[in-house]
Amino acid sequence: MIPRKRIDIGWADLASGLLACVVPGALVGGARAAAKVESAWRTARGNLACLSVRSGFDALLSVLQLPAGSEVLVSAVTIRDMTRIIEAHGLIAVPVDVDHQTLAVSRAALERALSPRTRMVLVAHLFGSRMPMRDVVEFSNKNNILLIEDGAQAYTGDGWRGDISSDVCLFSFGPIKTATALGGAVMTFRDTVLRDRVRDAMSAWPLQARVSYCARLLKYALLVLLGYRPCYTVFASAMALLRVDCERLLAASLRGFAGGEFLAKIRRRPSMPLLALLHRRIRQGVQPAVGRRAERARQLAALLGAEPLSVVRPGATAAWHSHWVFPIVHPRADALIAYLQSHGFDATRGASSMAVVAATHGEGRASKAEQLFARLCYLPAHEGMRARDIERLAAAVRAFEADALAGNWRAA
């Protein structure tokens, strides 16, 4: 079985994280470790290291104290927790539709979602693409709205730090991200005074327990092992024998801050070993895996786009794409996934916590995003695959289409 994705961390990174957990000298110096991360981030703006993007965003909203009922325009596709945080602060998330082809939010969609209560816009670069920010910047400047740019899915180590005109940019180093530190995030602020206020707000939070970060490193070491094909094949077969839902198990293991008390869990400061590993990952710069991943994705895109297949691929005309994941839209997404799984490809419906932002009033629905999401599935196309694996995958999709046309294939 070809796994859906590789956790982008090496054995040397894991070992250095574990070492930082046990070196006694590392028990002190959290502030110094954070300062090192912030200076390695290298922007002329105000940088701030935090436990996760969700933690930083939550702290930002606590500091801003926007009036209850204020509206935040949000890219219609994002992770559920971002809207959950908005709501926890008494604010209303208003979806802004996302274009299938470019994965960008348009100026027209922003204008449609605008109301006298709009105070903030939060746009997410999706699936590894980066949308041009000019329209969003102009819109937020004209309407005097705070602009938050969510780059959680778009980091590649290439020095991109978001748009200099965005008020705040968010970058995640969570477990399924490129150059992961198995947690951690960096925020970049246009206004250093706001950065200092957010830092002060966070300073009241408890520190992430070093032992829990150590346990996380060990857990992910096991998951990294599953990124190797033979290990994953044994694991997937064992789970099938035991009748354990592999999809659910993996989703639960990869989800950060699962279970109850979500806000209490995100309201923590990063431990010293996490900061040390974050510093290491940032300093590594461009990740070699990114180039290989993009090459595989381009190969698959070309094969799927060729006659007689014509698979719809969100982001096909994105201005810039690193192919963090490879989503397609398919009218029988569930049947296709079952078929690919039975042919050794771990395609998935997206066990990630991505969702369409629900509108609180009917006319504000993001219909394009809803249509996209209802039929979305992710194909494995990553650096752990060979060119001939991609050819086999495209052939399997083609065979599914042929079978489906002949009426031979029923969803399992």
Ligand X SMILES: Cc1ncc(COP(=O)(O)O)c(C=O)c1O
**102 touches ligand X by CB under 6 A:** no
Q: Which of 20, 76, 124, 181 binds ligand X (CB under 6 A)?
A: 124
Q: Which residues sit opposite 150 in a β-bridge?
A: 124, 170
Closest distance between ligand X and the C-beta of residue 99, in Å?
A: 16
Let me know: does 54 contact 266? Beta carbons within 8 Å: yes
Q: Which two tokens stand for residue 319?
A: 């201005």
CB of 18 to ligand X, least distance (A): 21
In the complex with ligand X, the residue whose CB is nearer, 181 or 397, is: 181
82 binds ligand X (CB under 6 A): yes
Per CB under 6 A, which of residues 188..207 are in contact with ligand X?
Answer: none
Q: What are the phi and psi torsion angles at 409 (to 5°)? A: -100, 125
CA dihedral 271, 84, 327, 147 (to 10 degrees): -80
CB of 185 to ligand X, least distance (A): 4
Tell me how far, at minimum, the Cβ of 277 lies from ligand X, in Å.
14
| Cβ-proximal residues to 58 (8 Å cutoff; 6+ apart), any chain | 85, 88, 89, 263, 266, 267
Q: DSSP string spanning 17-42?
A: HHHHHH-GGGGS-HHHHHHHHHHHT-
Q: Which is nearer to ligand X, 79 or 294 (CB)?
A: 79
Q: Contacting ligand X (CB under 6 A), which of 78, 129, 140, 271?
A: 78
171 membership: H or E segment, kind and range = strand 168-172
- Which of 30, 174 has the CB closer to ligand X? 174
The yes or no reply on residue 217 touching ligand X (CB under 6 A) is no
Q: Out of 2, 45, 52, 299, name the contact with ligand X by CB under 6 A.
A: 52
Q: Choose the stretch contacting ligand X; rule: CB under 6 A; options: 28-36, 74-82, 228-236, 314-322.
A: 74-82
Q: Side by side, which strands form the sheet with 168-172?
A: 46-50, 185-189, 168-172, 146-150, 118-124, 71-75, 92-96
Q: Which stretch binds ligand X (CB under 6 A): 48-56, 233-241, 281-289, 337-345?
A: 48-56
* Least separation in angstroms between CB 83 and ligand X: 10
* Chain centroid to CA 51: 15
172 lies in the binding site for ligand X (CB under 6 A): yes
Residues 140-159 that bind ligand X (CB under 6 A): 150, 152-153
Q: Which is nearer to ligand X, 3 or 174 (CB)?
A: 174
Q: How far is CA 336 from CA 122, 125, 346, 356, in A?
A: 33, 27, 11, 22
Closest-CA residue to 302 (of 314, 291, 310, 292): 310
Residues 74, 357 contacting (CB under 8 angstroms): yes
Which residue lies nearer to ligand X by CB, 26 or 274? Answer: 274
The single residue among 9, 74, 79, 289 that binds ligand X, judged by CB under 6 A, is 79
**Dihedral of the alpha carbons of 347, 348, 354, 359, in degrees to the nearest 10:** 120
Q: Is 118 in the site for ligand X (CB under 6 A)?
A: no
Tell whether the torsion through CA atoms of 133, 136, 140 and 143 is positive or negative. positive
Instruction: Indicate the residue among 174 and 336 with the shorter CB distance to ligand X.
Output: 174
Is the Cβ of residue 83 or residue 287 nearer to ligand X in the bound state? 83
Binding residues among 323-362 for ligand X as defined by CB under 6 A: none
The footprint of ligand X on this chain (CB under 6 A) covers a number of residues equal to 14
Q: Are 328 and 394 in contact (CB under 8 A)?
A: no
Q: Choose the stretch contacting ligand X; rule: CB under 6 A; options: 52-60, 293-301, 334-342, 394-402.
A: 52-60
Are 153 and 340 in contact, with CB atoms under 8 Å apart? no
State the nearest-atom distance from the C-beta of 213 to ligand X, in Å: 14
Applying CB under 6 A, the span of 46-54, 219-227, 232-240, 317-325 interacting with ligand X comes to 46-54
Which H/E stretch holds residue 392? helix 387-405
Q: Distances from the Cα of 211 to the Cαs of 22, 123, 165, 184, in angstroms?
A: 9, 35, 39, 16
Please report whether residue 187 would count as binding ligand X according to CB under 6 A. no
104 binds ligand X (CB under 6 A): no
What is the rounded distance in angstroms from the CA atom of residue 399 to the CA atom of residue 412?
16
85 binds ligand X (CB under 6 A): no
Q: How many CB atoms lie within 10 A of CB 373?
A: 19
Told to check if 179 binds ligand X by CB under 6 A, we report no
User: Which residues ranging from 254 to 273 are in contact with ligand X (CB under 6 A)?
Assistant: 256
CB of 256 to ligand X, least distance (A): 5
**Residues that bind ligand X in the complex, under the rule CB under 6 A:** 52-54, 78-79, 82, 124, 150, 152-153, 172, 174, 185, 256
